[in-house]
Structure 1
Amino acid sequence: MDYCLGNGDGMAGVWSAEPDLDVNGDGVLDGIALDFDADNHLDDAIADFDGDGLADHVVFDVGADGEAAFTDDGSGTWAVSVERGGQLRFFGLDGVEATGGPVVDVDGDGALDRLLDGDRDGTADRVLAGERAYVDTDGDGRWDVTLSDTDGDGLAEHAD
């Protein structure tokens, strides 16, 4: 299984290893034991539940009462809690609260946008919507800042 992890300084490494752990309990080795939470125990895992050879889940405290599982939200971060079924709480631009994602139409333009939950609390912190990004700066679920890429270079030039 291949997996990519950041090392905390903005860089990332790619590794490949044979699964050594049955994370989902189906009798097939699908995970690699690691220590993600720095508790000096190999009780966490990165796993490939869909069998494509790429890690798609991170599980903290495998088999314990406090086990928590996360899947990639599409941005390369383990931000979407599996317990919520991949659903995030967010507000549309019309102010109406909803759940969904991580890919939904937040701005009502008919195009799918990507919700991101960086602090893994179940409420979207950012949404990437074409040439715009919306950011919740205070954690209340409402979009406080709009970033715009006005020249199409992939970088925001304007903030509202």
Structure 2
Amino acid sequence: MDYCLGDGDGSATVFNAAPDVDLDGDGAADAVGLDIDGDGLVDDALIDRDADGLADLLARDHAGAAAYFTDDGTGTWRVPADPALGPRLAAELRYFGLDGIEHTGGPVVDLDGDGVAGERLVDADGDGLADRAIGAGLAYVDTDGDGRWDLRLLDADGDGRADGAAEVSGSG
């Protein structure tokens, strides 16, 4: 399973690990155990709820009174989530296409109109309106919260870090 963690300096790193924790009690490992909260205990776990190979839910202190979070798109697992409903990014979200027309859908959509549903929507602030869209080697960001995409980030070398940014034109 791939998962992203913020590096504390505004950057993030993508890791890959095999599941090693059984959170649902069925005898099969379904999450990656880590110490996300820095308490010295490997009692936090990242979960791939939609089976796409990417972690989309964090269970903090899963052995006790667990709290659940989703990634805000930066590798910072801080957006509260309801585990019964799945992560917020798996719910249908409102979003604007690059043509400025509002849609509802997700979690993966064809944001850029290339005929391939390959951009994953993220609602970092939990308001039901996507403010990040992450695709292969690119991402779109709504920097001012108006629902329109302001920046396009590009990862040209595939290392999981943005190499460049450009303003998005024509999105409304």
**Coarse TM-score class (shorter-chain normalised):** 0.5 to 0.7
Can you list the C-alpha shifts for 1:103-128, whole angstroms capped at 9, x where unaligned? 21234453434134273635322336
The verdict on how the C-alpha distance between 1:37 and 1:116 changes in structure 2, with shifts beyond 3 A counting, is farther
Larger Rg: 1 or 2?
A: 1
Q: Alignment partner for residue 96 of structure 1, among 102, 108, 114? A: 102
Deviation at 1:86, TM superposition (A): 1.5
Bigger relative contact order, structure 1 or 2 (CA pairs below 8 A, ≥6 apart): 2
Can you list the C-alpha shifts for 1:38-88, whole angstroms capped at 9, x where unaligned? 45554311346799xx774542232666532548x8x98879963447234
The verdict on how the C-alpha distance between 1:70 and 1:156 changes in structure 2, with shifts beyond 3 A counting, is closer
Equivalent position of 2:144 in the other structure:
138
Equivalent position of 2:58 in the other structure:
59
Q: Equivalent pairs: percent with the same residue?
A: 38
Deviation at 1:140, TM superposition (A): 3.5
Q: What one-letter code is carried by the residue in structure 2 that aligns with 1:114?
A: E
Equivalent position of 2:90 in the other structure:
86
Residues 48 and 57, structure 1, Cα contact 8 Å, conserved in 2? yes
Equivalent position of 2:160 in the other structure:
none
TM-score (norm 2): 0.53
1:114 aligns with 2:113: no
Q: Partners of 2:134 and 2:18 in 1: how far apart?
A: 33
1:45 aligns with 2:49: no
The verdict on how the C-alpha distance between 1:86 and 1:15 changes in structure 2, with shifts beyond 3 A counting, is closer
The verdict on how the C-alpha distance between 1:36 and 1:97 changes in structure 2, with shifts beyond 3 A counting, is same
Equivalent position of 1:127 in the other structure:
133
Backbone CA RMSD of aligned residues: 4.9
Equivalent position of 2:26 in the other structure:
26
Deviation at 1:22, TM superposition (A): 1.4
The 3-state SS of whatever aligns with 2:95 is strand
Residues 100 and 148, structure 2, Cα contact 8 Å, conserved in 1? no
Q: Partners of 1:28 and 1:6 in 2: how far apart?
A: 28
Unaligned runs of 5+ residues in structure 1 are none
